[in-house]
Structure 1
Amino acid sequence: MSVPHAGRIYPPEILAAARVPQPMLERLEDSWCDRIAADAQDAGAVVVQALWARAVADCNRGEGQMAPGEVDPSLRQEFSAPGRKERAGLGVVPTRLADCGPLWKRPIDAAALNWRLESLHRPYHAALTSELAAVRERHGHAILIDLHSMPQIPAGQPGHGARIVVGDRFGTSSADWLVDLVMNAAQRLNVPVTRNQPYAGGHIVRTHGQPDQAVHAVQIEIDRSLYLAPGRTVDAARMAGLTRWFGELVADAGRAERGRDALPQAAE
């Protein structure tokens, strides 16, 4: 289990560098989605969770994902091909939000970037790499579920109306059997579900999902309105239902993988 965007700790260095108040930085969070994963460990998963806020560094972006205009001039040649999200200020260091303008008092320089990467981004991915390797060593395979929350998908955008989005990088980060299992589980919630639209999966599943090496990774995005009340507070009853559902999904994924692997061995 990976929960990269639910961290709620803001180091003093981050608050000192910000030109906006903390509530603005909190808009970057996948608010309280770590609570959805509360039963995952009891269901058999190892949970790797970021405790520091996404404002420090976005673990679902690669180290090279920044727009040149968002960094100090001395770093611009390192970030020469930004994508849409990076140009919008949502790179490995978030730098802008709609209605906020720049988040930081000055452009991100080499020292600030390296501190953020060394303090959160690199340890997070090292932990994922280590745990996946250990699971595959023990069982011959590993499953990674990368959990996120999302705002409601606007009209006119692919996937509009979906409340849960399952991403597998268009078939490259996981075998279909796991994606089918997750899609079927999501449909039991009786809400609209899409695959890869508009979220196909980010840096985490792209980097760690290697189905040809028996590591299968999927990203799950859950509409926040399924578990939050107005004011970004937790709706306790709906959260409890999602937590039970997610714990059952984790347990089902483990059982399905074990059963699936037994069949080829018998046929051989």
Structure 2
Amino acid sequence: MTPVDIKQGSGPIVLGLPHTGTHVPADIFARLTPLGQTLGDTDWHVDQLYDGLLDGVTTVRANFHRYVIDANRDPSGESLYPGQNTTGLVPMTDFDGKPLWLEEPDAAEIEARRLAWHAPYHAALEAELARVRQIHGVAILYDCHSIRSNIPFLFEGTLPDFNIGTNNGATCAPVIEGVVSGICAGAEGYSSILNGRFKGGWTTRHYGRPADNIHAIQMELAQSTHLAAEELPFAYDQAKAEKLRVHLKTILTALQDLTSSLGGHA
């Protein structure tokens, strides 16, 4: 199993898919609790949701599950949300705060996993952003995520449908933030928020460097927007998904159309 799948496109947008992978090496899988072995915190079907929406898009997809190591966490292990409940570089609990491991990995094992899985994913993502910027003069990283809409351990109440993260505007040009939030606000029947509970994970914060012509924005979708139910087996709801894909396509197309205004070129 290779750590990452890369689909190179000719356009200015790179889709990051850090949490859709479900591969867990057998020796690691055996040490997960029965709950952990359900892989419940996967970003279920997000790769399918975005597939085919935009010609020329590049995708970088982690094949490994976030319980092996989380590709959207700081490799140092530093928390993205100090003072709030969250999960770490290798999660020790699930999103409900329940233990995942019969035997927790130690620091040496976590570092080995980082080198084997986390590092190759980010090497690929960094390379693709550099390649796209070389072609267009600018690159836009759109980081694709989903999560259950009700998780009391992580947040109060029900999550909006579209959760846009730019680390309070630091990771992209204001026009990108404005265009995406405007499309989401205008999507009939959907709710949205900008820099709410999810302000962008490590990927968005690490790569988003507008001064260097690399812009990053995270989209965290409530899973109720495209799943039949937010519980096992987390089935894809075709009708819900097709309705949502209309708006996701509008977002990606609008971002691509911004290239020249961001200082890029065809």
Give the TM-score, by structure 1 length. 0.82
SS at the partner of 1:229?
A: coil
For 1:227, the equivalent position in structure 2 comes to: 226
Matches within 5 A, 1:158-237: 160=158, 162-190=160-188, 191-230=190-229, 231=232, 232-237=234-239
Match of 2:60 among 36, 48, 56: 48
Match of 1:39 among 27, 30, 52: 52
Cα displacement string for residues 194-239 of structure 1 (whole angstroms, at most 9, x for unaligned residues) = 1000111110001000011111100001111111002411111121
Mapped partners of 1:122, 1:56: distance in 2 = 13
Mapped partners of 1:221, 1:154: distance in 2 = 14
For 1:150, the equivalent position in structure 2 comes to: 147
Mapped partners of 1:120, 1:135: distance in 2 = 23
Aligned residues: 246
Mapped partners of 1:104, 1:239: distance in 2 = 33
Q: 1:39 to 1:248 in 2, by over 3 A?
A: farther
* Structure 2 residues without counterparts, runs of 5 or longer: 1-14
Q: CA deviation at 1:137?
A: 1.1
Matches within 5 A, 1:74-85: 83-84=82-83
Give the TM-score, by structure 2 length. 0.82
Question: Is this contact kept in 2: 1:39–1:243, CA < 8 A?
Answer: no
Q: CA deviation at 1:48?
A: 0.7
For 1:252, the equivalent position in structure 2 comes to: 254
Q: 1:27 to 1:48 in 2, by over 3 A?
A: same
Question: Is this contact kept in 2: 1:20–1:104, CA < 8 A?
Answer: no
Which has a greater percent of helix? 1
Identity fraction in percent = 28
* Structure 1 residues without counterparts, runs of 5 or longer: 68-80, 264-268
Residue identity in the other structure for 1:83: P
Mapped partners of 1:198, 1:9: distance in 2 = 28
For 1:63, the equivalent position in structure 2 comes to: 75
Residue identity in the other structure for 2:135: R
SS at the partner of 1:178?
A: helix
1:3 partnered with 2:17: yes
Q: CA deviation at 1:146?
A: 0.5
1:28 partnered with 2:41: yes
Q: CA deviation at 1:107?
A: 3.0
For 1:121, the equivalent position in structure 2 comes to: 118
Q: CA deviation at 1:127?
A: 0.9
1:96 partnered with 2:110: no
Q: 1:99 to 1:181 in 2, by over 3 A?
A: closer
SS at the partner of 1:180?
A: helix
Q: CA deviation at 1:141?
A: 0.8
Question: Is this contact kept in 2: 1:44–1:251, CA < 8 A?
Answer: no
Mapped partners of 1:120, 1:188: distance in 2 = 38
Mapped partners of 2:206, 2:97: distance in 1 = 31
Residue identity in the other structure for 2:143: D
Mapped partners of 1:201, 1:102: distance in 2 = 25
Select the structure of larger CA radius of gyration: 1
Q: CA deviation at 1:246?
A: 2.1
Residue identity in the other structure for 1:130: A
Q: Which runs of 4+ in 1 moved over 4 A?
A: 157-161
